[in-house]
Chains A and B, each alone.
Chain A
């Protein structure tokens, strides 16, 4: 068992403000205050319906993750990566961008697709990798992507999405298109060369993009303090020549305000922004990890107290935008919806065997045709094929 020593304390970040409150890269931008009211000076002033919808989407992601982790434990799916505690950032991004904008996610932003209207059951079919999956059973679970909502899949190898997003944004500018690219990384992935390349090119090319680091304090077992010697992640932007903003990653209103500003700034041609969303991974890294060996329960409990969904719940309640009864029935409705979607996709047959040879190239070359024929000779064909 690991010693839970000082080394395992994450950066002194948390919600503490390490430096002058007026420096956006070092302080923490928040809208939701400790008394569950919105700071009027920073409030993005969204409609009641939008506020309720933000809440609903976050709750859906939470319930979805719970169900799917259960399915994973029951052996119904091979692997799953939950985002528990980090629901606010993907949901806010979904609201702060246009559907024509492109999303280049890291590990924990698959839910943006749902906010952008991608069907829940099709999204879930990706986890099963079966014939209902638009990716044709090719990708590991939690690597959702769909061309229809301009969202690519995260790369199993950390980092490459960042320069790709900058390239996509730069190309849009060249084409005279008003698309903005939004790319994500975890705190861990900021150590990869691709992160630094992306930051540099984004600023040098003045590319219409927003790079967001979800600092959830841990990269599997490695705390953020072992990842960087910088005071914050946001401060890194300064050296590359773009604004860096540190925002409360468990405050969906603050995230909306900051991301929306950055996206529109990029759209106006005023350049890229780097955002650090300070949050926490409440659950395990993925279904294959046990976090209790490297971090303390107290730390997790501290962050449970800053739960983005509970905070928004209290805010809506206080403003009279949601009653207890409405809250309960909303949860019931979402649960039923998820169950229906699971039922719909769980029993779909696996992808057809010949699909194995598709999409390696646009047309199947002779050697793959030969392999297909040979395989058909040696391996008995299952009924679904």
Chain B
């Protein structure tokens, strides 16, 4: 297999799906001539033209709505938010409309749309630019939420998202675009199904559930813990809705411990949801309370010395696993 960057993997998925199906188009701020704020759409305008790669005015609610309308009448839009922070302006279109039109129309009108873009904190971008948005969208019935951590997952999940008839919120890691990883050849047309977690590392000492950029923090912590003889099993759910609770629960049944690591705030959200489900489905198997490592419960500061304390860190994950395994 070849190794490519996460950015390139997303781009390949777009390119292949646009090539396969004329109904697919890409729309957003600076996606065409500028080739995307994060250069994800490099070359797409040149290849597909202005009919299918569409630069918009700065109005997220506007182009989210334009996309939904186009999806209702037969096209398959991919809507790029320059970052997911700016999707808040389009909340009503996504939550009250995209997510509900199929159900409200008695199952007669589908909205096959993908909303995608970089999610989570980057370096020093402050309170308003650092949101990890999964908790907002994962609580909405009618939309799927995918959050790939690796290039391979990014490509395979985006292809699935584009072919799915439901609206999909597709959360790319703002700090992951340069991550390299193995991805199958273009001819393979690999589709990664929604609702199938991936076991990134096997172990019987403690289950760590992690996604997005803290997935890498979790893997690093697992390496560290292995030195002390604690073998962690790292499970990446890949999609938060649908959630592959079965794989997570099976892992917990084996390890009897569970630590959940994520970037978003601790209050509510998928971290809390997974903790709830695990305790109900695997209560008799748990040897310790479920631990969670999340962002501190406050708006992101700018100053580096403060910022680095907010997101989950390796020491915090290690500490949580030690606590769950009574190894302190």
Binding site for B on A (CB under 8 A): 2-3, 7-8, 78-79, 129-130, 136-141, 143, 155-159, 188-189, 191-194, 219-222, 226-228, 293-294, 350-351, 353, 355-357, 360, 367-368, 371, 375, 378-379, 382, 384
Q: Which of B57, B125, B299 is the one whose CB lies under 8 Å from A226?
A: B57
User: CB within 8 A of A356: which of B55, B88, B89, B298?
Assistant: B298
Complex CA–CA separation, A351 to B299 (angstroms) = 15
Question: Given contacts A360-B298, A378-B315, are A159 and B89 in contact (CB under 8 A)?
Answer: yes
Contacts of A78 in B (CB 8 A): 123-124, 302, 304
Residue of A nearest to B87 (CB): A157
Instruction: List the A residue with the shortest CB-CB distance to B131.
Output: A157
What's the nearest-Cβ distance from chain A to residue B285, in Å?
27
- Tell me the complex Cα distance, A138–B119, Å: 20
Known A-B contacts A78-B124, A138-B126, A155-B128; A227 and B302 likewise in contact (beta carbons under 8 Å): no
Contact B306 A355 (CB under 8 A): yes
Q: Complex: how many Å from CA A156 to CA B315?
A: 31
| B89–A367 touching, CB < 8 Å | no
Chain B positions 153 through 170: 1 when the CB is less than 8 Å from some CB of chain A, otherwise 0: 000000000000000000
Q: Which of A130, A188, A228 contacts B303 (CB 8 A)?
A: A130
How many cross-chain pairs have Cβ atoms below 8 Å apart between A and B? Answer: 125
Cβ B309 vs Cβ A379 within 8 A: yes
Residues of chain B lying within 8 A (CB to CB) of residue A159: 89
A191-B303 in contact (CB<8A): no
Report whether A137 and B124 are in contact in the complex, using a CB–CB cutoff of 8 Å.
no
**B288 interface residue per 8 A CB criterion:** no
Interface residues of B in 269-309 (CB under 8 A from A): 296-299, 301-306, 309
CB contacts (< 8 Å) of B298 on chain A: these are 356-357, 360, 368
Chain A residue numbers with a CB within 8 Å of B58 are 158, 188-189, 191-192, 219, 222, 227
Checking A139, A158, A227, A353 against B305 with a beta-carbon cut-off of 8 angstroms, the contacting residue is A353
User: In whole angstroms, what is the CA distance A156 to B306 when docked?
Assistant: 19
B59 proximity list for chain A (CB < 8 A): 191-193
- One digit per residue, 1 when the CB lies within 8 angstroms of any chain A CB and 0 when it does not, for chain B 14-36 equals 00000000000000011001100
Cα distance A260–B298 when bound, in Å?
41
- Shortest CB–CB separation between residue A283 and chain B, in angstroms? 17
| Closest 6 pairs between A and B when the two form their complex, measured CB to CB | A137-B303, A191-B57, A156-B128, A221-B34, A140-B126, A350-B305
Residues of A within 8 A of B310 (CB): 356
Inter-chain CA distance A143–B126, complex, in Å, is 10
**Complex CA–CA separation, A379 to B29 (angstroms):** 40
Q: How far does the alpha carbon of A157 sit from the alpha carbon of B133 in the complex, in Å?
A: 15
16 contacts between A and B (CB under 8 A): A2-B34, A129-B301, A130-B303, A136-B301, A140-B129, A191-B57, A192-B58, A192-B60, A193-B62, A220-B34, A221-B34, A350-B304, A356-B301, A360-B297, A378-B313, A382-B305
Tell me the bound Cα distance from A330 to B315 in angstroms: 54
Which B residues touch A382, using CB under 8 A? Answer: 305
Which residues on A sit within 8 Å (CB–CB) of B175?
none
CB-contact partner of B309 in A221, A294, A375, under 8 A: A375
Chain B minimum-CB-distance residue to A351: B303
> Is B34 touching A138 in the complex (CB atoms < 8 A)?
no
**Which of A2, A8, A157 is within 8 Å of B89, CB to CB?**
A157
B34 touches A157 (CB 8 A): no
Beta-carbon contact of B299 and A140 below 8 Å: no
Known: A141-B302, A356-B310. 5 other contacts (CB 8 A): A2-B33, A158-B58, A294-B34, A351-B301, A355-B306
Task: Determine the distance from Cα of A227 to Cα of B298 in the docked complex, in whole angstroms.
Answer: 35
Q: Which residues from chain A contact B192 at a C-beta distance below 8 Å?
A: none
Q: How far is the CA of A130 from the CA of B303 in the complex (A)?
A: 7
B55 in complex: contacting residue of A222, A367, A379, CB < 8 Å: A222
> Which residues of chain B have C-beta atoms less than 8 A from A356's C-beta?
296, 298, 301, 306, 309-310
Nearest chain A CB to B313 CB, angstrom units: 8
- A371 contact set on B, CB distance < 8 A: 296-297
> Which chain A residues border B296 with CB–CB below 8 Å?
356-357, 371, 375
Q: A192, A293, A355: which has the most chain B beta carbons within 10 Å? A: A192
Q: Which residues from B are CB-within-8-Å of A375?
A: 296, 309
Determine the residue in chain A with the shortest Cβ distance to B318. Answer: A378
Interface residues in B76-121 by Cβ distance below 8 A to A read 85-86, 88-89
Question: Known contacts A193-B61, A378-B315, A378-B316; is A129 also within 8 Å of B86 by CB?
Answer: no
At the interface, yes or no: B66 with Cβ under 8 Å from chain A? Answer: no
Residues of B near A353 (CB, < 8 A) are: 305-306, 309
Q: How far is the CB of B167 from chain A (nearest CB, A)?
A: 21
In the complex the two chains form, what is the Cα distance from A221 to B32 in whole Å?
10
- Whether A221 contacts B33 in the complex (CB less than 8 A), given A140-B126, A193-B59, comes out as yes
Q: Which residues of A contact B60 (CB under 8 A)?
A: 192
* Contact across chains for B303 and A350 when beta carbons are under 8 A apart: yes
The residue in chain A whose Cβ has the minimal distance to the Cβ of B319 is A378
**Please, which residue of chain B has its CB at the minimum distance from the CB of A372?**
B296
Are B33 and A350 touching (Cβ within 8 A)? Answer: no
Q: How far is the CA of A353 from the CA of B124 in the complex (A)?
A: 16
With A350-B306, A375-B296 as known contacts, state yes or no: A226 contacts B127, CB within 8 Å: no
The answer to whether A221 and B30 touch (CB under 8 A), given A138-B299, A367-B297, A378-B315, is yes
Which of B57, B128, B313 is within 8 Å of A227, CB to CB? B57
A156 touches B85 (CB 8 A): yes
**A353 CA to B310 CA, complexed, in Å:** 11
**B319 contact set on A, CB distance < 8 A:** 378
Determine the distance from Cα of A312 to Cα of B59 in the docked complex, in whole angstroms: 36
CB nearest neighbor in A for B320: A378
Are A138's CB and B127's CB within 8 A? yes
The answer to whether B315 touches A379 (Cβ under 8 A) is: yes
Bound-state Cα–Cα, A158 to B57, Å = 12
Question: In the bound complex, do residue A351 and residue B305 qualify as a contact, i.e. CB atoms below 8 Å apart?
Answer: yes
Q: Are A222 and B89 in contact (CB under 8 A)?
A: no
A129 CB contacts on chain B under 8 angstroms: 301-303
Q: How far is the CB of B56 from chain A (nearest CB, A)?
A: 8
